[in-house]
Amino acid sequence: MNQRELSIPLIERAEGHRERVAIIDREGEHSYAALLEASARVAGHLLAGAEDLQEARVTFMVPPGFQYVAVQWGIWRAGGIAVPHCLTHPPRELDYVLEDTGAQLVVAHPEYLPVLAPLTRQRGIRLLSTEAVFSPIQCALPSIDPARRAMILYTSGTTSRPKGVVLTHNNLTAQITSLIQAWAWVPEDHILHVLPLHHTHGIVNALCCALWAGARCEMLPRFDEVEVWRRFQERPLTLFMAVPTIYVRLIRYWESVPAEQQQALSAAGRKFRLMVSGSAALPVQVFRRWQDITGQVLLERYGMTEIGMALSNPLHGERRPGTVGQPLPGVSVRLVDETGTPIQQEGVPGEIQVKGPNVFLEYWQRPDATRQAFRDGWFCTGDMAVVEQGYYRILGRKSVDIIKTGGYKVSALEIEDVLREHPAIAECAVVGIPDPEWGERVAAAVVLRPSQTLTLETLKAWARQHLAPYKLPRALKIVRSLPRNALGKVTKPAVKDLFSEQPG
């Protein structure tokens, strides 16, 4: 192995865990040594005689498992920028990423070749199958400066076309080591991975942290509640990370089985040392129900593509439902008012701003957007929060979760937490819709529990007992399901569109 190239911190650490199991997938167990060997082969095929890819953008579409990690690492070891595709995106969205990144190489598992081949052929991009890049090859690998660009991840694009968030190897190292310290990762850890691998949550929090620690990462091809509960029972797992929607589905399955089986499932849940929820607000009712079922007090945290994780409830100490805790190690966080002045007093809402080595380098080829995202070196998240007894509580996005009605600023997330307590409501999403008198009206889209009915008037009558008058829903839409993105997060612009289809 070329010692000069061992400058990517994550890969350097793998050398110290060569004989340990790194990945468990459908094909079996794979060691860190196998991962290093396979990724070196991938790098050699990508280089194809060149000395260094020099930050060429390499997109890849590979299912979760050993091959995904080996391709990602191979791109890095060849000097490229890794750009993971979402496995469920239609051709139009895949083509957007190819165009926006100016991709020079694409690696795909055979099952995705039929959708990618026409796109790459049209753009004249070299397409390699995973079968090809894992074949034996000897090649000297370049030395990689950790300050170089490592990855481009795309934002959800809820208000505009998705932007490419550029992370360096140093950014990734900062994000990983912060979580390693905060959540006390150790080589003996064993995580069950069920998250999409084109988002920070799945790539950094679950996958890269496990590999940095020398732990085992057991990867499922997709989330399935029956299979997850089975793994909980059969495997010596210590960690699990998921989005609120996943916990809701696990709870529903638990509630659907006989009491004897419930006891066995609950016992399996109790053995974990840590379970984490993120990527969307965790309803207090879900927090409490999961604790009732498994004894696990979910650790909720806050982060985003541009910054990794910034806030977290403590590993040891009180985890307060409805909050995202305090700043993580190495991360500076503050709240500012509408003039950009830092807020010193607790209980006063403000926008979250973040500074630290974890913060991304730039939006890919969008210098204006990059400049607008920062103020005096602080990244402006666009998320509103309030500090209460030292813990941050997220109020929502400035653009979609803060409703300006009748001169009041109302948190949609606060109203949602209250409405979920209604006996007829299974899920809900609250948005503000234009109103000539109030500026915006509070509107609720709800999914009902089986055999339940609900009218706007009965909802308002119930809500008056729990909410201030200006927070009451003024419009109601009953839906079968809420629009969500790949991580299960409700897409608020799509919820607003529901009310344009049927006013009131």
The whole-model pTM stands at: 0.85
132 pLDDT band, cuts 50/70/90, is very high
Q: At what angle do helices 244-256 and 284-294 cross, to 10 degrees?
A: 50
Contacts of range 460-467, beta carbons closer than 8 Å, 24 or more positions apart: 462/422, 463/418, 463/419, 463/422, 466/418, 466/421, 467/415, 467/418
Three-state DSSP at 2 gives: coil
- H/E stretch holding 459: helix 456-463
Structure-token pair, residue 50: 């060149």
DSSP-assigned states of every residue in 20-40: SEEEEETTEEEEHHHHHHHHH
pLDDT in tens, 221-254: 999 999 999 999 999 999 999 988 899 899 999 9
The string of pLDDT tens digits covering residues 294-328 is 999 999 999 999 999 999 999 999 999 999 999 99
Q: What is the signed CA dihedral for 380, 385, 387, 392, rounded to 10 degrees?
A: -90
Rounded to an integer, what distance in angstroms lies between the CA atom of residue 246 and that of residue 405? 33
Over residues 411-422, the mean pLDDT reads 90
Per the prediction, the chain carries an average pLDDT of 93
331: tokens are 């991360």
Contact 413, 401 (CB under 8 A): yes
Closest Cα to residue 96, out of 193, 162, 160? 162
Please determine, for residue 377, whether its predicted confidence score (pLDDT) is greater than 50: yes
Least confident of 84-98, 115-129, 390-404, 469-483: 390-404
Does the pLDDT at position 504 exceed 70? Answer: no
Q: Is the pLDDT score of 158 beyond 50?
A: no
- Taking the alpha carbons at both ends of the chain, their separation in whole angstroms is 66
From the list 203, 108, 116, 101, the residue with the least C-alpha distance to 152 is 101
More confident residue, 245 or 171: 171
Decide if pLDDT at 329 tops 60.
yes
Closest CA to 169 of 150, 152, 154, 153: 150
When mean pLDDT is compared across 118-122, 233-237, 254-258, 492-496, the lowest value belongs to: 492-496
Question: Hey, which bits of 315-390 come out as E strands?
Answer: 326-327, 332-336, 350-355, 362-363, 374-375, 378-388
Percent of all residues in the chain with a pLDDT value above 90, rounded to a whole number: 82
Question: In the prediction, which pLDDT does 501 show?
Answer: 64
Nearest Cα residue to 86 out of 52, 63, 55: 63
Tell me what pLDDT residue 104 has. Answer: 97
Determine contact, residues 82/69, Cβ cutoff 8 Å: no
Hey, what domains does the chain have and what are their CATH numbers?
A: 3-145 (3.40.50.980), 184-297 (3.40.50.980), 402-501 (3.30.300.30)
Residue 131 predicted with pLDDT over 50: yes
Question: Quick one: CA dihedral 195, 196, 199, 202, positive or negative?
Answer: positive
As a three-state string, the secondary structure of 79-119 is: CCEEEECCCCCCHHHHHHHHHHHCCCEEEECHHHHHHHHHH
When pLDDT is cut at 50, 70 and 90, the band that residue 160 belongs to is: low
Count the Cβ atoms, other than its own, within 10 Å of residue 501: 7
What are the Cα distances from residue 246, in Å, to 197, 226, 251, 277? 16, 12, 9, 9
Q: Is the pLDDT of residue 503 over 80?
A: no
Task: Answer whether 75's CB lies under 8 Å from 60's CB.
Answer: yes
Contacts of 19 (CB under 8 A, 6+ apart): 31, 32, 33
**Can you tell me the mean pLDDT for 130-138?**
96
Tokens of 227: 């299979």
| Coil, helix or strand at residue 6 | coil
Percent of the chain whose predicted confidence (pLDDT) is above 70: 96
Angle between helices 32-47 and 66-77 (to 10 degrees): 50
Q: What is the pLDDT of residue 427?
A: 93
pLDDT value at 62 more than 50: yes
Length of the chain: 504
Q: Which residue has the higher pLDDT, 290 or 484?
A: 290
